[in-house]
Amino acid sequence: MPKQLITCIVNGKKRESYIDPRSSLTDYLRGEEKLNSVKHGCDVGECGACTVLINGQPFNSCIYLAIWADGKEITTLEGLSDKKGAISDIQQAFIDEGAVQCGFCTPGFIMSSIPIITSDKVFTRQEIRKQISGNFCRCTGYENIVNAIEKTAKKRKEEKQK
Amino acid sequence: MYDFGTIYQPKTIKEAMELKVEHPKALILAGGSDILIKIREGKLAGCDLISIFMLDELRGICMEEDGTILIRPLTSFSHVTANPIIKKYLPALGDAVDQVGGPQIRNIGTIGGNICNGVTSADSAPTLKAYDAELEISSLKGTRIMNYLDFNLGFAKVDLREGEFLTGIRIKKESYLDTYGQYIKYSMRKAMDIATLGCSVNVRLSEDKKTIKRLRIAFGVAAPTPIRCFEAEKISLKRSLDQKLLDDVALACQKEVNPRTSWRASKEFRLHLIKELSQKALFESIEKAGGKVNA
């Protein structure tokens, strides 16, 4: 199958690539961009391990065709680090709260939590759970994940008010 | 890598229609949350696709001059829920599609894909049927308008003929004005699950809020297709708001539906759910409308 040119912004950088039109966005981000935080989990949109932000909203990259990413802005977990490569507050909170065990689901959970921690709205724990309900974790039992997100959201709001 | 044949990528809806005539067997790909998964499972492996996902002309919600709400088919579930027109005039629809899958699925899944897929468990279907939605169906030959009530022909089979595309979903002002509705989805899990049963009710009360002026009730997974219960609607007319009304409506619904036993639930359990959910949805609709059910 002839390859097709796509132009998109990945983690703030403009990228141009020739891709097979049959690739999923997961295939493209892992294969071409070497962004390995994007996990190949279930590949059918059930587990959320491949979650990335497309124009700021979480999508399962496994069931998103790479050709659809043309002209869009994509953020993966790698895009959360600062220029020196230091991890972000939400990643640190996952470590501090013990929200990581095997770690396979973690990048997906963190990407799903971005709309919560960047929102002006205060999310209840129930609302946080709803926002991360498209992500599976088989280790932690979710409590510590909700704790990490709640804590980061609260901290960011306090910093904004300063 | 997906196992499909050719993927056509039209730039306009007209081009998509031409491609569909040229390649009648090619499947129309909207958000892909049903089709891409079937390709992964091997059920549709090797198929050709016409991707309409990038056609922004088929996206968005607006109100037409006469007050009709027009929902373009590629509008995602999350955009339906967040839309100010839907929030103000059709909150029951916004709530219904907010119960599909999880946040990621609601961002990619489209309301048009939900109804064209034609399954009885579609979360948008009972509410759209209960609000008498009209479908705009277009092909190179022209456009026809049909009642959504007549769209489902059987299990996963809809009335889309050769070269036709769903291009609009309309809900008339007369349908939604002064109505209050409630959709209840019963499923084993609160997220990422398919409805065991879905029930959508909306009511318009008399001015003194003592009797039913109009009732609409529809179900998902209560028959091979999403269905309305017209008998139940008829017997509710001008009735006062009491337990007897809830009982009679539920009984009438149970007579009209035709649920089956599946691995999710037995027929008997679904019939029980039809009674429980219709009463609960009706009760909540009446309360939202400012009425009070006298026990």
Contact A7, A16 (CB under 8 A): yes
Q: Characterize B59-72 residue by residue with b for buried, 16 or more Cβ atoms within 10 angstroms of its Cβ, and e for exposed.
A: bebeeeeeebbbbb
Residue A148 belongs to what H/E stretch?
helix A143-161
Asked if residue A101 is part of any domain, the answer here is yes
Count other Cβ atoms within 10 Å, centred on residue B293. 16
For residue B69, the cross-strand partners are B63, B171
Q: Residue B294 has what pLDDT?
A: 87
Identify the closest residue of chain B to A58 by CA–CA distance: B104
**Residue B3 CA to chain centroid, in angstroms?**
30
Residue with tokens 């509705």: B181
Q: Residue A42 has what pLDDT?
A: 97
Q: Clarify whether residues A94 and A131 are in a common domain.
A: yes
The whole-number average pLDDT for the span A145-155 is: 98
Q: Is A4 exposed, middle or buried (0-12, 13-18, 19+ CB in 10 A)?
A: middle
Q: Residue A162 has what pLDDT?
A: 84
Alpha carbon distances (Å) from B35 to A135, B23, B57, B160: 21, 17, 22, 17
The whole-number average pLDDT for the span A50-59 is: 98
Contact: B1, A22; criterion CB under 8 Å: yes
Count other Cβ atoms within 10 Å, centred on residue A81. 13
Domain ranges of chain B: 7-51, 61-174, 179-288
Contact: A67, B107; criterion CB under 8 Å: no
In this structure, is the dihedral angle defined by the CA atoms of residues B128, B133, B138 and B141, taken in order, positive or negative? Answer: positive
User: Closest Cα partner for A147 from A109, A105, A102?
Assistant: A109
The whole-number average pLDDT for the span A156-161 is: 93
Q: Residue A70 has what pLDDT?
A: 98
At position B154, the amino acid (one-letter code) is G
Count other Cβ atoms within 10 Å, centred on residue B136. 17
Asked if residue A11 is part of any domain, the answer here is yes
Q: Which of the residues A63, A109, A110, A112 would you substitute to probe the B interface, choosing the one with the greatest number of B C-beta atoms within 10 Å?
A: A63
Identify the closest residue of chain B to A108 by CA–CA distance: B104
Domain end (from A43, A78, A113): A78
Asked if residue A83 is part of any domain, the answer here is no
Q: Which of the residues B52, B104, B106 would you substitute to probe the A interface, choosing the one with the greatest number of A C-beta atoms within 10 Å?
A: B104
Identify the closest residue of chain B to A113 by CA–CA distance: B103
Q: Clarify whether residues A59 and A124 are in a common domain.
A: no
Residue B211 in tokens? 């009797």
Identify the closest residue of chain A to B33 by CA–CA distance: A63
Identify the closest residue of chain B to A56 by CA–CA distance: B107
Domain end (from A22, A51, A78): A78
Residue with tokens 């922004």: B56
Mean of per-residue pLDDT scores for chain A: 97
Q: Residue B261 has what pLDDT?
A: 96
Contact: B41, A44; criterion CB under 8 Å: yes
Contact: B101, A45; criterion CB under 8 Å: yes
State whether residue B104 sits within 8 Å of chain A by CB: yes
Q: Clarify whether residues A116 and A74 are in a common domain.
A: no
Query: Domains in chain A: how many in total?
Result: 2
**CATH code of the domain containing A107:** 1.10.150.120
User: Closest Cα partner for A21 from B2, B40, B16, B42?
Assistant: B2
Strands (E), A20-55: 51-54
Contact A135, A62 (CB under 8 A): no
Give the CATH superfamily of B179-288. Answer: CO dehydrogenase flavoprotein, C-terminal domain (3.30.390.50)
Given pLDDT bands bounded at 50, 70 and 90, which one contains residue A59? very high
Residues of chain B with pLDDT under 70: 295
Given pLDDT bands bounded at 50, 70 and 90, which one contains residue A1? confident
Tell me whether 0.90 is exceeded by the ipTM: yes
User: Closest Cα partner for B214 from B230, B192, B193, B194?
Assistant: B230
Total CB pairs under 8 A between chain A and B? 80
Q: Is B15 exposed, middle or buried (0-12, 13-18, 19+ CB in 10 A)?
A: middle
Contact: B40, A44; criterion CB under 8 Å: yes
Q: Residue B295 has what pLDDT?
A: 67
* Structural domain of A143: 89-161
Architecture of the B61-174 domain: 2-Layer Sandwich (3.30)
Cα pseudo-dihedral A137, A143, A147, A149, rounded to 10: 30
Domain end (from A44, A78, A112): A78
Contact: A51, B105; criterion CB under 8 Å: no
Q: Clarify whether residues A134 and A157 are in a common domain.
A: yes
Residue among A43, A60, A67 whose CB faces B9 most closely = A67
Contact: B40, A133; criterion CB under 8 Å: no
User: Chain B partners of A57 at a C-beta cutoff of 8 Å?
Assistant: 78, 107
Contact A15, A73 (CB under 8 A): no
**CATH code of the domain containing A62:** 3.10.20.30
Share of chain B above pLDDT 90, in %: 99
Contact: B105, A21; criterion CB under 8 Å: no
